[in-house]
Chains A and B, each alone.
Chain A
């Protein structure tokens, strides 16, 4: 369980995240949605100690993220931000292997190697394993980054816009895989998503942010409602039920 209390971040006079208190349940997939500039990414960065907060606390399974030693936390929680610009020339296998760093500190055991092979297989990267990252397409690279984070084998996996750079097929594949990771491996997956239909289809729980505050939250079915969504995004959004799934239409 991730418990945030009064989390606040200011940039100069602008308050980007404004006293967010939130409890994210353990297990399943939670999606954070909301318009641009709502503070979703900033909030996720503070939860994962990549960014300092001006006020508030975040506890992951009771561990305060600002006080717990970073390497201890690295075995509980992993984070992948969007737009990862990598200047180092590493192979896919090298990159994924570094997911084991919190455990092995560089000396890979047989168990580590098993995790690495599993993660590479899980993301369909076997054929690309010995290629350098700068030789891959944006989507392949994104999959390699996610493989590294899965290889870290943490209970909590935080991903900021993991569908960036992915075409429809790979976006669907990625969400299916995260669903599997949540169901089979018991991971808690927290995502920032822009596509509310992906959020509707694959999430258990949805948090909506707006202007640095939590605008609404609840189980996916309760959140994907015309009235709720229209309030979050300030536009008319229709919701249709197709084959038991709630799909939003907002194209005109």
Chain B
């Protein structure tokens, strides 16, 4: 409990730091001596606060979505980007952009979410047809499926001359976040809270179908609830920020090593660490080659893949 409080404090400190890092000078002194119309205050209100909120909301939601997915699929190494979910959301967003260009972002996001749900269902259907003994093969199947869906998406994006847009939303980046461009992410917060409310159900589902039925729960329904949460979060983050790989994988795995898998206990941990991790990566991306920025997907990808490799090797050692 005390540790969790510590993690929350660190995350809050990172969030405050995030408000003051950037090209434009926003210092406490400049803010205090200025009125609401001044440049520093304007930058804070229009750019820095929305950006920091977007980081916290998407970091927490993506990490929790990964956790939910790992529980319902019962595999440590699945997350939206290793199960075809993100790629399906991307395809859905492209379809919405081509056929309903006038729709508000909310509507396009819902189409992306529907595609994400269908893609994940397809992934699970394939898993049922090919029962895999090795846990590491499951994410490989997901990555292959994601590759196929991604190829289809790229083909149509090329045909409709939308490759540049596709690249933009496939590469997560917070630099474009301004007031009015991140509010959909509050849906992600709603999903995170929903995951916490239903935490016990997901833990039971994580024990397997027989245990779930024995305890009087409908396994199918828990599964659907979990996948709806995962698809919504993936779509919301994709259309607002772009994809952030590995996040849903490493944070839940690190938390599992620390406090286990009882979701009632792990959801707050995963949410806080997800937010903190993305904050740290984003600040790093802003500092490293200032005044330029390194996109969040690159920073998280590099750090995340290193942690992912460590987790993989650790599993192998334990299995041997």
Contact = CB atoms under 8 A, between A and B. Distances in A.
Q: Are A and B bound to each other?
A: yes
B260 A90 contact: yes
Contact of A73 (B135, B216, B261, B262): B216
B156 to A, nearest CB: 37
Interface string A44-73: 000011100000000000000000011111
Given A87-B76, A89-B261, A106 B200 contact: yes
Interface residues of A, number: 33
B215 A101 contact: yes
Interface in B70-89: 71, 74-76
A145 to B, nearest CB: 9
Contacts of B207: 86, 88, 90, 95, 98
Contact of B217 (A70, A75, A86): A70
Interface string B213-236: 111111000000000000000000
B96 interface: no
B216 A98 contact: no
B264 A70 contact: no
Interface string B186-218: 000000000000011101101111110111111
A50 B256 contact: no
Contacts of A69: 216
Nearest to B256: A89
B71 A88 contact: yes
Contact of B264 (A72, A85, A106): A106
Contacts of B71: 88
Interface stretch (A76-84, A164-172, A230-238): A76-84
Contacts of A72: 216
A156 B204 CA distance: 21
A102 interface: yes
A112 to B, nearest CB: 13
Contacts of A50: 209-210, 213-214
Contacts of A132: 260
Contact of B215 (A81, A85, A88, A98): A98
B206 A102 contact: no
Given A87-B75, A88-B261, A90-B262, A70 B206 contact: no
A78 B261 contact: no
Contact of A84 (B135, B208, B218, B256): B208
Contact of A48 (B74, B209, B214, B217): B214
Interface residues of B, number: 27
Contacts of B261: 88-90
Contact of B210 (A81, A87, A105): A81
Contacts of B206: 87-88
B194 to A, nearest CB: 14
A4 interface: no
Interface in B265-284: none
A95 B262 CA distance: 9
Contact of A79 (B214, B217, B260): B214
A190 interface: no
A102 B218 CA distance: 12
Nearest to A107: B200
B23 to A, nearest CB: 44
Contacts of A74: 214-216
Contacts of A21: none
Contacts of B215: 74, 98-99, 101-102, 152
A86 B208 contact: yes
Nearest to A78: B214
B214 to A, nearest CB: 5
A67 to B, nearest CB: 14
A101 to B, nearest CB: 5
Given A88-B71, A89-B260, A71 B210 contact: no
A3 to B, nearest CB: 20
Q: When A and B form their complex, which 9 residue pairs have the shortest distance between CB atoms, in order from nearest? A: A74-B216, A71-B216, A106-B200, A88-B206, A88-B261, A89-B261, A101-B215, A70-B216, A102-B216
Interface of B: 71, 74-76, 135, 199-201, 203-204, 206-211, 213-218, 256, 260-262, 264
Given A91-B260, A152-B214, 18 more contacts: A49-B213, A50-B209, A70-B218, A72-B216, A74-B215, A78-B214, A79-B214, A87-B74, A87-B135, A88-B203, A88-B261, A89-B256, A90-B207, A90-B262, A98-B204, A101-B204, A101-B216, A106-B199
20 contacts: A50-B209, A69-B216, A70-B218, A72-B216, A74-B215, A78-B214, A79-B214, A84-B210, A84-B211, A86-B207, A87-B74, A88-B207, A89-B256, A90-B203, A90-B260, A94-B203, A94-B260, A94-B262, A98-B200, A132-B260
